[in-house]
Amino acid sequence: MTLTSVDYGTGLMANWANIDPSYLVKYQQWLNCEHMPERVSIPGFLQGRRYRLMDNTLHFLAFYETETTSVLGSAAYLQRLNSPTPWTLEALGAFQGNPVRNIYTRIADAGRPGLFTAPYVISVRFNLPEGREAVYVARWVKETAQHDRVDRVRLYKQDSAIGNIQTSERKIYGAGPGEQLYLLLIECSKPPGSLGELFQAWDAPLGPEAQRNNELIGAYWLEMAHAAWNK
């Protein structure tokens, strides 16, 4: 079954970050109780989620789904980005390493609608050789969504114009667009198991055409999610 664009919207803001161990609980409380509810209340925002790396290191993937990518460049959202709360100012100081924040537009989507928010997700950031995007849109996403362990597959492409907008929050923790143009989010209802074996099986139907460059892969489990209701 192929999902339609109204299921989760076509815009996505995703953030990958390591968190100072001494701030972990306060980081979780901040996102759960203030930051994510605030973001999801913005017009055009549909859902926010936070996932933690499967090895339980303090590496997190947080993302927001929006009706369209333009919502992520809207006046309402930029106003929040340029007016961080005191708690946000404190929390962003706990981000470590080189956090990445990307804005995306969904270009392909396939799978089965879940009964609940996916408890596991595999994130794949990557580049493609010239001319291979169409192969992923037409075949890889649809064929991978048919595998037993997979509930849903989404393919996104960076929107650098919106992603490079400078804001007050960005100046604090320095997160900007990563080097990879594409993002796959692969949702699973059970632990994904060996990523090497899975991608070998998922790539096999396309052979050499499945080649991805400069890829970064991570498997995550769900910590929390907020959805917009009756907006």
pLDDT tens-digit map of 119-158: 999 999 999 999 999 999 999 999 999 998 899 999 999 9
Rg of the chain over CA atoms, in angstroms? 17
Percentage of the chain surpassing pLDDT 90? 83
Helices (H), 51-136: 75-81, 86-92, 133-135
Does pLDDT of 6 surpass 50? no
The domain tally of the chain equals 1
Mean pLDDT, residues 188-203 taken together: 94
- Residue 147: strand, helix, or coil: coil
Q: Is the residue at 1 inside a domain?
A: no
CA–CA separation, 219 and 70 (whole Å): 28
Q: Is the residue at 5 inside a domain?
A: no
pLDDT band at 209 (very low <50, low <70, confident <90, very high): very high
Does pLDDT of 61 surpass 60? yes
pLDDT band at 7 (very low <50, low <70, confident <90, very high): low
- Position of tokens 């009706």? 67
Residue 39 maps to which CATH number?
A: 3.30.70.100
Q: Is the residue at 181 inside a domain?
A: yes
Pull the structure tokens for residue 73.
């460049």
Burial of 222 (0-12, 13-18, 19+ CB in 10 A): middle
Q: Is the residue at 138 inside a domain?
A: yes
Q: Is the residue at 15 inside a domain?
A: yes
Q: Which pLDDT does position 231 carry in this prediction?
A: 58
Q: Is the residue at 48 inside a domain?
A: yes
Measured over the CA atoms of residue 48, residue 60, residue 200 and residue 158, the dihedral's sign is positive
Range of the domain at 211: 11-224
Does pLDDT of 2 surpass 50? no
Q: Is the residue at 192 inside a domain?
A: yes
Mean pLDDT, residues 81-100 taken together: 95
Q: Is the residue at 111 inside a domain?
A: yes
